[in-house]
Structure 1
């Protein structure tokens, strides 16, 4: 969520700089040093690569950040580098708003799942506490579990508990949405000093379509 918020803040910085009649590359160079910490290293390396090949620099930046929202921003910037854009500032503002909405939605999901995890902890604690109390205070109640059938029953119950915990843990994971730009598998993450020189233009239509939906 910090990365999404960082991309949104940087997009807003570039939007405001472009509104002041600055060129696109100048806006990137002017705002990159002030990008939020979550993307500051990648933004700094982006500025270093801009002079050699803006398209390649943007593509490597997208791979380093590795976030769908960053992909949308990169696609918009890459398309604007190759083609004149009338309202790039407005597009960046819309992308920033989308990023903030996604971060807020993720926060709501995490809060809802935190309530579920709390309920699971309470149920588990009560169950284990009751078993410990019976073992200490009334061993005769647990005597049937001392037999072979009782041990088998305990094994089955323990397996069901373990399966339930594994299932709940899997449900609590928030999967990352798929990226719009496929990463280059031949270049290690976080150290992409050289990458493919394919332009970002072919993906612009798909990004625009997804944004329109």
Structure 2
């Protein structure tokens, strides 16, 4: 089985597949964490620097390399385990702001405005959680970007399946220019409000396992710290076998804590307004050929 799997992997690596490229684990993790502010980035750097200094000090004083690694990992990982998941709270705030934005666009349409004018009018005093995305959308409309392209970029910036539902209704209206969009947006705003209420209830239920993770982390760190203060208790872990046992136990316990925290974390529903990379290439090729025919140019190789 190992040889067969290796041969299949070699063939796939050389020949390739027709499957669209996916984001790496790091990219998906960063997408779930949301945008990182400068203050948050600075705190991370300080935390990593403190982890390196503490790990070095523990290694020099105790001579136990695994203990130094655990001390450094505790400086970085314990705040992440103890802190509540703010990503879900931010998402709920954005969805609530999306419902308010839908209602504002519907009100502007009821006043007789066109779709582009109605969306541009929401630039004044937008909801705080979506102020940047709404401003970018209005700026693109003012710069002459097609409404369909501007709306798709807006959906990519919000990056939520609920925003895809709203943008899908706006895309259909921008393409067909039919009546009834204001009523549809009002219904979507009501649906978004109901979804926000359900998400808040789910987050309140997830608070229980988060509290369990915090208490388990604090109690375990207290027991381990107190044990290392007793020389004859921590002496067996100074040998090579003892360090291997300590590393195995630590990896297992940390894995359990991370697993428990992941159960209480927010898992976003996959979006459906995601462009296929192959369709983008096909669109570029078709557009290039159309431009060649328009200007009387010969065939151009598209790479």
Higher relative contact order (CA 8 A, sep 6+): 1
Asked if the contact 2:101/2:127 (under 8 Å) is kept, the reply is yes
Asked if the contact 1:9/1:35 (under 8 Å) is kept, the reply is no
Query: 1:61 aligned to 2:154?
Result: yes
Distance in 1 between the 2:138 and 2:227 partners? 67
State the match for 2:256 in structure 1.
164
Root-mean-square deviation over aligned CA pairs: 3.4
User: In the alignment, which of 181, 191, 198 is matched to residue 105 of structure 1?
Assistant: 198
Distance in 2 between the 1:97 and 1:36 partners? 17
**Structure 1 position 170, deviation (Å):** 2.2
**Structure 1 position 12, deviation (Å):** 0.7
**Structure 1 position 7, deviation (Å):** 1.2
Q: TM-score, normalised by structure 1?
A: 0.68
Once the two structures are superposed, the pairs formed by residues 132-151 of structure 1 within 5 Å of their partners are 151=242
Asked if the contact 2:237/2:246 (under 8 Å) is kept, the reply is no
Aligned length: 186
Asked if the contact 1:68/1:178 (under 8 Å) is kept, the reply is yes
Distance in 2 between the 1:49 and 1:180 partners? 23
Query: 1:82 aligned to 2:157?
Result: no
**Structure 1 position 35, deviation (Å):** 2.0
**Structure 1 position 178, deviation (Å):** 1.2
State the match for 2:127 in structure 1.
36
* Change in CA separation of 1:27 and 1:147 when aligned onto 2, cut-off 3 Å: closer
State the match for 2:184 in structure 1.
91
- Corresponding residue SS for 1:85: coil
Asked if the contact 2:213/2:261 (under 8 Å) is kept, the reply is no
Asked if the contact 1:2/1:38 (under 8 Å) is kept, the reply is yes
Distance in 2 between the 1:147 and 1:159 partners? 18
**Structure 1 position 80, deviation (Å):** 1.0
User: In the alignment, which of 90, 94, 99 is matched to residue 8 of structure 1?
Assistant: 99
Distance in 1 between the 2:150 and 2:219 partners? 56
Unaligned runs of 5+ in 2: 1-91, 285-303
Unaligned runs of 5+ in 1: 187-194, 197-213
User: In the alignment, which of 155, 166, 169 is matched to residue 73 of structure 1?
Assistant: 166
Asked if the contact 1:69/1:95 (under 8 Å) is kept, the reply is no
**Structure 1 position 119, deviation (Å):** 2.0
1:181-213 CA deviation, whole Å, 9 max, x = no partner?
114769xxxxxxxx98xxxxxxxxxxxxxxxxx
